[in-house]
Chain A
Amino acid sequence: MLTKRIIPCLDVMDGRVVKGVHFVNLKDAGDPVETGALYSREEADELLFLDITATVEGRKTTAKVVEKTAEEVFIPFTVGGGINGIEDIILLLRSGADKVSINTAAVKDPFLIRNASQKFGSQCIVVAIDAKKKMRDKWEVYIDGGRTPTGVDVIEWAKKAESMGAGEIVLTSMDADGTKQGYDIDLTRLVSESVNIPVIASGGAGKLEHFYEVFTDGRADAALAASIFHYGEYRIREVKDYLLTKGIKMRV
């Protein structure tokens, strides 16, 4: 049986990890390669680098970081943030990323998903969706790093992304993100039941129970978390061991 995945997310800016990673056994917590390798040793199932650099120069730096990471880290890793078109995707995949995650550019031009998935295969095209709750069972898609509402319904967009060839969805609840009060279970479940591709839940992880909830009630295929790992509140292995005792299938 396929296991559920635990995916730490690293914010990278100009080739450095920002939002501190607090581990005693890291020489350089700002180095994405070293941090990625550490998470890999701790049995993370995958890594996500979110590039928050805005400049062209910064993006070239990111490509170099991706290249170094691919040499050192032998688990899948996804790179997202600021991908505007097919050229950006080519650069990152050639540098060694296994997948790219597209957000704003995909909403503005859904055919980018189609072009990219036909060219590289669905398995490496991830669509990231930032969702904000509007009313009961209704969420709206936001773009530009959560700054711009689009009027697009999240469920409809998820289905559209799948039909265009997305291989996976990273679903971030803007309401839950940063609260540590748990993932948005309703949102995750509704999206997961609406599409037939894997859904990675994101935003809100603060306690071990939150992972359990999102995998069971939320029907998520994978769970993304950042700060609870970076600040050493939980080790990845702790999360996995807890989930195993609760009967969730994990790779250990």
Chain B
Amino acid sequence: MAIAIIDYKMGNLRSVANALERVGAEIIITSDKKEIYDAESVVLPGVGAFSQAMENLNRLDIIPAIYEFIDSGRPFLGICLGFQLLFTKSEEGSTSRGLEVFKGEVKRFGDKVKVPHMGWNEIKPKRDLVLFSNISFPCFVYFAHSYYVEPEDRGIVAAITDYGGDFVSAIQKENILGMQFHPEKSGEKGLEILRNFFNLI
């Protein structure tokens, strides 16, 4: 029993695995339905294009396992693209449908700011969540993305970040967590956030 990191051929998963191992987790990197479903918690990471990601998830036939896992109530974490995929659809490429776990759209940053949003920015928590236990604020974390999510249900928002205006940088609804930033690349505070996720098991 371990944390399953879903491998759907969207970028390097090693750094997420390294960081989770550092906080004491046992890791499997897998695209196997059963292994995903049997895991204690699941991480959906990923960088790259939204439509390609959905295509890969479909081709590997792991979408039903993701839904079943989420429904089981065990902790699920989407990081960066893996977070965006939880929403209805994205502006990226041709209009592509996401996993629709949450209603909302994935949009591109406007021309007022440099895109990608690349570097360290501050997350401001909206609620008191386990995710942020032992984190001292201000808390800077590492971002590298051109798109951001706009959830319909503002109640799921866990943290916001200012980049030419506030956008949603983390969400949590019950067992489902999502982060636009890369905790695995956010130094000690990022590791602390991952430790909090690991402790949800």
Contact A74 B47, beta carbon cutoff 8 Å = no
Contact A75 B142, beta carbon cutoff 8 Å = yes
Contact A70 B18, beta carbon cutoff 8 Å = yes
Collect the chain B residues with CB atoms within 8 Å of residue A71's CB. 18
Contact A196 B115, beta carbon cutoff 8 Å = yes
A108 beta carbon closer than 8 Å to chain B = no
A84 beta carbon closer than 8 Å to chain B = no
Contact of B114 among A3, A40, A93, A198 (CB under 8 A): A198
Q: List CB contacts (< 8 Å) of B75-115 with chain A.
A: 111, 114-115
| Mask of A67-79 contacts with B, CB within 8 angstroms, 1/0 | 1001100111000
Contact of B11 among A1, A67, A120 (CB under 8 A): A120
> Considering the chains assembled together, what is the distance between the CA atoms of A43 and B186 in angstroms?
10
Contact A251 B140, beta carbon cutoff 8 Å = yes
Interface size class of A (residues with CB under 8 A): 20 to 34
B130 beta carbon closer than 8 Å to chain A = no
B122 beta carbon closer than 8 Å to chain A = yes
Contact B116 A3, beta carbon cutoff 8 Å = no
> Considering the chains assembled together, what is the distance between the CA atoms of A197 and B114 in angstroms?
5
> Considering the chains assembled together, what is the distance between the CA atoms of A27 and B187 in angstroms?
22
**A–B pairs, 11, beta carbons within 8 Å:** A2-B117, A2-B143, A3-B140, A74-B18, A74-B191, A121-B11, A123-B116, A123-B118, A197-B115, A198-B114, A198-B116
Chain A contacts to B: CB under 8 angstroms? 1-5, 40, 43, 45, 67, 70-71, 74-76, 93-94, 96-98, 118-124, 167-168, 196-198, 221-222, 251
